[in-house]
Amino acid sequence: MFLNVHSAYSLKYGTMDIPTIVSNARALGIHQMVLTDINNSTGAIEFIRECFKQGIAKEPDEIQAGNIPYYLKPIAGIEFRKDGQLLYFGIAKSKEGMRELNEFLSIHNIEDQALPNDAPAFENVFIIYPFIKNFNRKLKPNEFVGIKSSQLNFLYKHPLLHQKDKLVIWHPVTVGSRVEHRLHEYLRAIEINTLLSMVPDDCKCNLDEVLISEEVLKSKFETFPFIIENTQKLMDACDLSVYFEPQVKSKNRFAYTKNGEEFDRILLRRIAYKGLAYRYGNDNPVARARLEKELKIIEFKNYCAYFLITFDIVRYAMGRCNFYHVGRGSGANSIVAYCLRITDVDPIDLDLYFERFLHEKRTSPPDFDIDFAWDERETIQRYIFKKYPKWHVAFLGTMSTFKDRAIIREIGKVLGLPKEEIDSFTDPTKERENQQNATYRKVVAVHQHMRNMPNQRSIHAGGILISDEPITYYTALDLPPKGFVTVQWDMYEAEAIGYEKFDVLSQRGIGHIREAVQLIRQNQNKEIDIHDFKNFKNDPKLNAILREGQPVGCFYIESPAMRQLLKKLKCEDYLTLVAASSIIRPGVASSGMMKSFIERYHAPDKVVYLCKEMEEQLKETYGVMVYQEDVIKVCHYFAGLDLADADVLRKAMSGKYRSKLAFEELVNKFFHSARLQGHSKELITEVWRQISSFAGYSFSKAHSASFAVESYQSLYLKTYYPKEFMVAVLNNYGGFYSRWVYVHELQKTGAKVHLPCVNHSDEVVNIKGNEAYLGFVGVQGLEHKFIAQIPLERRRNGPFKDLEQFVKRTNITLEQAILLIRLGALRFTGKDKKTLLWEIYNYLGYKQKRIDAAELFSLESKEYSLPKLENSALEDAYVELELLGYPLNFNMFDFLKTSYRGDVMAAELNQNIGKTVRIVGNYVCEKTVRTIKNTKMWFGTFLDANGDFFDTTHFPNTTPVYPFKGKGCYLILGKIVEDFGCPSIEVIKFAKLDIHINPVAGD
């Protein structure tokens, strides 16, 4: 009887989630219901699945058998609105009906067309128009009119009585209760950006839009039994039970070949064995056995096409585009992926378990994470969308909620609170004070009710779905600003339906590597095989940089925390770097894993293992379960679980398993199986304690290994080709640190770094021999058209000869020309900045409109004799600070009024452990953390006057509320301490030092 039910997926309108709707319907004994969210079908499949999950929807043949005492039949559709006004809603008769509705909405979303006032001709959809008093629409066979019980009086002598079979019950459902209607009003106020008291009635639902029992609803129409009968017939004609599958089946059966799945199987084997010879040679029985084992599981799980499609993407990137990629994540556990060159991580070398990626008991789809350079990813995405048919490929969506405390500001606005009061509500430092405020408590209470509700749809970072059947059977599609069609649900719903996603991602680190290789080719005429990882990892020079903790610019290992960890571990090999890449992650340090690992790493002989099995499996990590694979190994070799069950248990302990009962069964199985291995109850309990405490923090070893491979590639380039590498880092917009840090690193390589010059600079930094010129991209305030136009004009027509020619050839504006002159970008003229600033007004200082046409004759300009105009280095430094964000040719320490540079330098800290010293540092960055007592403390990073890094720790009891005051040099008083050979300074006092004032500040 309920043809028009809204869930919370009717964004900022409905208030109930899908499970609540189903459980409420069950409590009221409702037998049929249609979910019709506004302009989306996000919850349609979830609704159907939830009805079966709660055990109140059955297959049609079971219902017809007559032995089902109660069931709820799920039906789905879409409500169509334009400018907030209801046009009609569609109800799918079948799966084909859902496709029709989704494609109709998708076309209008993609083409940005307004929805038509009249529904199109659907073949498998019922259309319901809302009843109005002057209804005179000619109805198609599949079209009906929904009438509310409150509108029945209007039927008297109404023309629709001549079409009695077209009238159906219309009782919209939007909120869970009349009390919940208030929450609906808050949502509507936020949506239309108005005060709560000013929400128009036609923008919100009626108070009675709640679920009621079918008996009560029918009683409202008892004088019009034919309306009840029409409604029942309509709902009986709908059947969407095809969407219910007892076991999730893969939807990615899109065969890679035209000959179907069997040929896919043959092709995958052929390519994999060819790759086996490339990776391992022709005589490696261990690799061959591992490959055969994986292929059998892949074939059993019907994932041949998934591997082949990923292989196709990688082959296109490497072959047609000559792009560099990194295959990471659990997919690197697969030797098949290694042989297909999806990843460069050798799973045999690292003892990686394929079961971490895929096994016969896995119910959720696996996925590959493929990284490309930040500016190349879109090319790959467009290839995928072009290769597969319309409606068969789409981006994965995401669904944000109201969890962000910023929504407190929105709630305050709709309540009409003053800005000052709202600001105080969002200030964490006033939390205790706010708790005493009744208005604040009210705002927080409203936020608590809506915090888990969906807020808006967006696009996944890189997940792409490729489907064997049109995706529109399962969702309508949006077209976000990126220009790729996107499904209306997120990765969790995709997984529940059975879709494997293809993660095509991007990162700056790959851009560094790619461009560095290109620059080395151009600047030094050398070809670099950046994939020669086996030699990189054994290079003593690279490992020396790791041990010293100086890999600034190198992917994943340049942050202060990582540099310190590398020093503490004295890391000088690949396996240690893999471990470091895992234990550096958030949560590990607080759990004690990091400290335990470092202690045991330096004293392996003192490690006490619980038993022989634990020593055999965890010797590489000194008894600490660093990786997710370690959890699998212990469950398998200690407790005797098969590898599939071991991975299921690992996943469950990481919080990704939804069935509590199934999890408890696995835990019992662990204890029972471990006892069968002959272990004591006490030993099993302790092993389980360690597993359960580590599992939530552990990281995929394959993921860490992928990061470590890329780190070594960056290290190789920085070690042997530092100039080109640092230019590449700058041109791909750096990494962890501010841009000036990388310019500083480039200068340390011995390169001569020049300010931008119109006759030498390009859009980005360039390097020729030892000469590097900063690009125009980094100049603050320079318009994009001139950033591109100036180097383009120079390349086309040669260098600029003088200021006049530069002005005429570029059509530059006065403001933009002044900016370039101030920065020294026209120094090629041989004239000082102030002379050029005087002269630029001869060309651009007039008000009349310039004629942009080629000159027939070039007339010489009059020469003027100017007095000598002074320009100081300090003045230039301030200009560079303003326009670049840092001074290039003026050390930050030279700004200081004092010449004092500290008692010690960074390089001398190890020789002064335990001493309290003063040191002067140029601020690089800071990190704020909270202690166990919820007080703030800070970690700082500085450069000394010699350009060397040092780190500081600022404890709450010795530090003001906010100790740092931005860029500049600080005088630091502190005690030098060391942790595993890594020195740092525990700050007692520090303050920002005074600087010389800009000489032209008063002009």
Q: Which of 43-47, 246-250, 400-404, 410-414 has the lowest mean pLDDT?
A: 246-250
For residue 667, pLDDT over 90 is answered with no
Mean pLDDT, rounded, for 714-720: 95
Q: State the Cα–Cα distance between residues 621 and 628, nearest whole angstrom.
A: 12
For residue 203, pLDDT over 80 is answered with yes
Quote the pLDDT of residue 849: 46
Q: What are phi and psi of 705, to 5 degrees?
A: -65, -40
Mean pLDDT, rounded, for 330-349: 91
Give buried/exposed letters for 906-932 (b at 16+ CB in 10 A, else e).
bebbeeeeeeebbbbbbbbebeeeeee
Q: State the Cα–Cα distance between residues 34 and 12, nearest whole angstrom.
A: 20
Q: Determine what percent of the chain falls in helix, strand and coil, rounding each to the nearest 5.
A: 45, 15, 40
CA distances from 868 to 42, 259, 726, 871, 965 (A): 72, 82, 39, 10, 39
How many other CB atoms sit within 10 Å of the CB of residue 2? 26
Strands 454-466 and 143-147, by their bridges, are unpaired
Least Cα distance to 330 among 628, 714, 541 occurs for: 628
Quote the pLDDT of residue 854: 53
Encoded tokens for 481: 């600003």
Quick one: pLDDT band at residue 803, thresholds 50, 70, 90?
very high
Q: State the Cα–Cα distance between residues 718 and 512, nearest whole angstrom.
A: 10
Mean pLDDT, rounded, for 567-571: 94
Encoded tokens for 818: 């002044």
Quote the pLDDT of residue 769: 94
Q: Are 913 and 923 in contact (CB under 8 A)?
A: no
Q: Which amino acid, 84?
A: G
Quote the pLDDT of residue 471: 95
Which pLDDT tens digit goes with each residue over 951-990? Answer: 999 998 766 666 788 899 999 999 999 999 999 999 999 9
Least Cα distance to 4 among 45, 26, 32, 46 occurs for: 32
Q: Which of 97-101, 644-648, 707-711 has the lowest mean pLDDT?
A: 644-648
Q: Could you tell me which residues come within 8 angstroms of residue 943 by beta carbon, excluding any fewer than 6 positions away?
A: 741, 744, 906, 921, 922, 924, 949, 950
CA distances from 154 to 132, 147, 149, 491 (A): 9, 10, 10, 47
Instruction: Give, for 327, the enclosing helix (H) or strand (E).
Output: strand 325-328
pLDDT mean across residues, the chain? 89
Q: State the Cα–Cα distance between residues 462 and 381, nearest whole angstrom.
A: 9
Which pLDDT tens digit goes with each residue over 392-429? Answer: 999 999 999 988 777 888 999 999 999 888 888 877 76
Residue 351: CA count within 13 A, CB half-sphere: 14
β-sheet with 369-373: strand ranges across: 325-328, 369-373, 501-507, 454-466, 393-401, 486-487, 477-478
Q: Which DSSP string corresponds to 778-842?
A: GSTT--HHHHHHHHHHHHHH----SHHHHHHHHT--HHHHHHHHHHTTTGGGS--HHHHHHHHHH
Which H, E and C letters describe 862-893, residue by residue?
A: CCCCCCCCCCCHHHHHHHHHHHCCCCCCCCHH
Q: What distance separates the 2 farthest-apart alpha carbons in the chain?
A: 107
Mean pLDDT, rounded, for 558-574: 93
Quote the pLDDT of residue 848: 44
Q: Which of 174-188, 688-702, 714-728, 852-866 has the lowest mean pLDDT?
A: 852-866
Which pLDDT tens digit goes with each residue over 597-641? Answer: 999 999 999 999 999 999 999 998 898 888 888 888 899 999 998
With 0-12 / 13-18 / 19 or more C-beta atoms within 10 angstroms meaning exposed / middle / buried, residue 778 is: buried
With 0-12 / 13-18 / 19 or more C-beta atoms within 10 angstroms meaning exposed / middle / buried, residue 149 is: middle
Q: State the Cα–Cα distance between residues 918 and 905, nearest whole angstrom.
A: 9
Mean pLDDT, rounded, for 686-705: 81
Residue for token pair 């030993």 = 683
Quote the pLDDT of residue 859: 54
Instruction: Give, for 954, the enclosing helix (H) or strand (E).
Output: strand 949-954
